[in-house]
Structures are given as C-alpha cells and as structure tokens.
C-alpha cells in the first residue's frame, strides 16, 4: 500500500498552510476535506489473477468474482453492493454455497500512515455469526459459514438433502442431518467405496439351503436331492412319498424310504428289475418232494404229486397215463385216464380260454362228445373269476361212438388246476 500526500503552496508573500491526508485519501480543496481515492479506477491492474477490485474507504479489496460484499458504516443498517443472482461457491468451504464478507475498519487504524495487525473477530467474539454457523477469520474481516452438510436459507443453516443432488448411490440414498448414506437392495452389500453395491453370495455366507444352493444376482435358489422336494419355506427339503403317487408304483407292495422307495414281493416271488414280481420256480431250485413224487410249480408256490397216479385196475402205460388192461375189470369205467396239471393267476378275467382238448381221428366216421363229468359241482367253470389260492380237479370225459361198428368207449382227462394267490 502506498501513501499519497498533496501539498498546496501559496505565494511567498502570503502565509503558508499545509494540508495532509491519511493514506488512501486526498484533499478536496473545494470542500476542504479529505476524500477517498478510488484505486480501482486509477490503477488498471490493481488486482491480479482475475480477482475483482472493490474500492474501500482508505484502500481497496481484491476478492473473487462471485463474492458478495456488505459495506457498513458502523451502524446496524447495511448496504448490499454488486448482487449475484445465483448462489456462489465459497472458496474457503466448498460445502457452503454462500458467504458474507463484512468490512471492518478496525483492521486499519484511521489516520495512521501504516496498517496495524489484523483483528480476529472470530476468536474475540466480535462476529455476528449464528450459533449453528462457523466463523472464519479473514484479513480485515470474517465470514459466516454453515457446517458441512448444511446450506444457507436466509440467515439460517438448513440441512442439505444430498439425496436430491448428486449422491452417487448405486441403489438407495438415505438422507441424514448434515450427511447421507447409501443402502443396497436385498441380496447386495455396500462395496468398500460405500456407494456401489455388489452381490452377496448367500451360498458362501451361511448354510441357507438344506441340500443344494445356487447363487443368483441379488438372490439364491435352493434345490433338493432326488427323492425330496422343497418345503413351503423354499429352503428345507421334505421327503417325497412316491408310494402315495399311484398304486402302480409297485406290482405288490411299495415301501417308502427317505429320498426313495422300494418294492417288495410276496413269498414265492422275486423282484424283477424295480417293480415287477416274478414267480420263483421252486422245482428248479429247492423243494421237499420225495423221489417217488413229481414237483409241480405254480404261481407263488409248488406241490408234490405221485409220479404214478394210477390206481387199480389201471396201470401206468406212459407218463401220467393210466390204462385199463382188463375188459372185465374196467366195465363201466373209462378206458384210460390222463393226468394233467396247470396253474393260472388269481382273479383272471372272464371269459377266457383255460385249456383246449382235441380228439385223435382214429375212425373217420366216429363221433366224439366232450363233457365235464365231475369237478364242476360249484359251477366254477362258467362265467366266473377264480380266486386263489385253491386247487380244483376237473374230469373231462371224451366219448367216442361209431354207429356202423357199434363201438362206444370213453376216456378221462383228469385236470388239476391250481389257482395262485395273486393276480400275477
């Protein structure tokens, strides 16, 4: 700062008087007072670096272009100069969009020829900042700023809603008094920058699923092992009762087990593959028939029959064939009896062909008659389903007649039918 002084001289013959003004002022001979020098008008480059020059009593100020200046004369009224329509940015605190600079003449002693040390209005309590504001001392003055996260609204500091501005939260922004924080959606968590959201691998964190866990973006799904299904909570697994699905899961009995099922067969049968039951031929494996007996297998079991079923007056002439050798002893009896055995399932559908018998044409002009001689007393061999287990013996008679030769004879087919205990 330079000191400017001016002196007015008079003719030697008149008395001489000197008028000197303080630095920053010049003498006005008309008004006979010291008036302020407008350095901003006189010096073209008074402020450097794009700063704005503000003339002041006894000097000038260099301030940013967006600064707002309040000039006071010491009374409570103030005059606002150079208004800025938009909210400026405070270079001292970027979070506070508004500052107030007050001119304080206490920083310079009036009438002195040099500047005195700056007065710290903030530390000496000479400022007018509100209780919710922060006082920042400046050279020759001070500024009132809001705390971080707050902004000026009139003379008060109000919370600045960062969530309405640029908060950079990836998912959700939550405003708080003087600040904000970010939240993530379910299945995500905050990254180290506290703004981004990254997927949470629930399968690695906890045993969320009882059986198998598959991670998804923002979620996960559970799957159960074979034979199980997800419970209503979509996490637990419950056993599937396959036996309750259908009565055809197994041919005989279905046994449910955790995660599966199994089929069992009755005595005399063995499991074929997974669900079917197959008859066991005990005659080919182990049986209790004697040497003079014949083992006959049927569905679900076996029986022992005599190897020689013939009784007097019949003699065994071939396998299972008994013939009468004496005409006198066999009078009124069939000429021969043939023993046959067969096995059928229980509850076989009717009508059905069980067996077929056919005569041998010994005589071309002979006449053959077939009938059930015995064993149908209960009327089973009709339109009726047979239930096992049971044994039925049927005598089928074949009568041979030849009119020209006056020949008549009969023979029996003694058929033993064993009905198994099951329909398979």
Per-residue pLDDT, 220? 94
Q: Are strands 59-63 and 52-56 parallel, antiparallel or unpaired?
A: antiparallel
Per-residue pLDDT, 361? 66
Q: Which domains does the chain have, with CATH numbers?
A: 40-159 (2.10.25.10), 162-199 (2.10.25.10), 202-239 (2.10.25.10), 242-279 (2.10.25), 293-419 (2.60.40)
Q: How far apart are CA 172 and CA 182, in angstroms?
A: 6
Per-residue pLDDT, 107? 42
Mean pLDDT by 10 residues, the chain (424 residues): 34 45 81 84 81 85 78 44 37 38 40 68 90 90 91 88 85 93 95 95 87 94 96 96 92 95 96 94 92 94 95 92 87 91 88 75 73 81 79 90 75 93 93
Per-residue pLDDT, 189? 95
Tokens representing 148 are: 């971080």
Report how far Cα 49 is from the mean position of its chain's Cα atoms. 62
Helix (H, G, I), strand (E, B) or coil at 13: coil
Per-residue pLDDT, 362? 63
Q: How far apart are CA 94 and CA 263, in angstroms?
A: 81
Phi, psi of 304 (to 5 degrees): -110, 125
Helix (H, G, I), strand (E, B) or coil at 241: coil
Tokens representing 419 are: 């009905």
CB environment 266-302: b (16+ within 10 A), e (fewer) = eebbebeeebebebbebbeeeeebeeeebbbbbbbbb
Tokens representing 412 are: 């029996």
Per-residue pLDDT, 286? 86
Q: Is 378 exposed, middle or buried (0-12, 13-18, 19+ CB in 10 A)?
A: exposed
Tokens representing 381 are: 């061999």
Per-residue pLDDT, 70? 63
Q: How far apart are CA 125 and CA 119, in angstroms?
A: 11
Q: What is the 8-class DSSP label of residue 87?
A: P
Q: How far apart are CA 370 and CA 16, in angstroms?
A: 179
List Cα–Cα distances, 386 to 269, 344, 414, 424, in angstroms. Answer: 20, 9, 19, 13
Radius of gyration, alpha carbons of the chain: 62
Q: Is 254 exposed, middle or buried (0-12, 13-18, 19+ CB in 10 A)?
A: buried
Tokens representing 378 are: 């209960």
Sign of the dihedral defined by the CA atoms of residues 308, 312, 316, 321, in that order: negative
Q: CB atoms < 10 A from the CB of 228, how many?
A: 18
Q: How far apart are CA 10 and CA 16, in angstroms?
A: 6
Q: How far apart are CA 70 and CA 393, in angstroms?
A: 131
- Note the residue count of the chain: 424
Per-residue pLDDT, 6? 33
Per-residue pLDDT, 77? 39
Q: Are strands 314-318 and 321-324 parallel, antiparallel or unpaired?
A: antiparallel
Tokens representing 107 are: 């920083």
């Amino acid at each position: 700062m330079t000191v400017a002084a001016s002196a007015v001289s008079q003719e030697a013959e008149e008395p001489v008087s000197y008028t000197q003004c303080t630095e920053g002022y010049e003498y006005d001979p008309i008004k006979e007072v010291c008036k302020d020098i407008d350095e901003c008008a006189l010096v073209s480059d008074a402020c450097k670096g794009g700063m704005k020059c503000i003339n002041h009593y006894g000097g000038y100020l260099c301030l940013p272009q967006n600064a707002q200046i309040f000039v006071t004369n010491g009374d409570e009224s103030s005059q606002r100069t150079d208004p800025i329509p938009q909210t400026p940015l405070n270079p001292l605190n970027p979070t506070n969009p508004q500052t107030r600079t007050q001119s304080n003449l206490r920083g310079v002693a009036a009438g002195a020829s040099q500047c005195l040390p700056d007065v710290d209005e903030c530390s000496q309590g000479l400022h007018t900042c509100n209780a919710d504001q922060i006082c920042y001392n400046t050279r020759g003055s001070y500024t009132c700023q809001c705390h971080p996260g707050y902004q000026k609204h009139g003379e008060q500091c109000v919370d600045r809603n960062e969530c309405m501005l640029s908060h950079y939260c990836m998912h959700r922004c939550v405003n708080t008094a003087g600040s904000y924080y970010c939240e993530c959606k379910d299945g995500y968590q905050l990254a180290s920058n506290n703004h981004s959201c990254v997927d949470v691998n629930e399968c690695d964190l906890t045993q969320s699923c009882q059986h198998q866990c598959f991670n998804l973006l923002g979620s996960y799904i559970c799957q159960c092992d074979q034979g199980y299904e997800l419970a209503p909570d979509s996490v637990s697994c419950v056993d599937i009762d396959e036996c309750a699905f259908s009565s055809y899961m197994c041919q005989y009995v279905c046994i449910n087990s955790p995660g599966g099922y199994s089929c069992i067969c009755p005595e005399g049968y063995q499991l074929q593959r997974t669900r079917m039951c197959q008859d066991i031929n005990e005659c080919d494996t182990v049986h209790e028939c004697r040497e003079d007996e014949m083992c006959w297998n049927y569905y679900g079991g076996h029986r022992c029959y005599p190897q020689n079923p013939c009784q007097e007056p019949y003699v065994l002439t071939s396998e299972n064939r008994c013939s009468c050798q004496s005409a006198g002893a066999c009078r009124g009896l069939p000429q021969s009896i043939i023993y046959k055995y067969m096995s059928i399932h229980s509850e076989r559908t009717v009508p059905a062909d069980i067996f077929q018998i056919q005569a041998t044409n010994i005589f071309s002009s002979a006449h053959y008659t077939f009938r059930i001689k015995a064993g149908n007393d209960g009327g089973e061999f009709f339109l009726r389903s047979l239930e096992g287990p049971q044994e039925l013996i049927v005598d089928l008679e074949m009568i041979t007649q030849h009119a020209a030769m006056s020949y008549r004879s009969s023979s029996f087919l003694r058929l033993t039918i064993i009905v198994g205990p099951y329909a398979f």
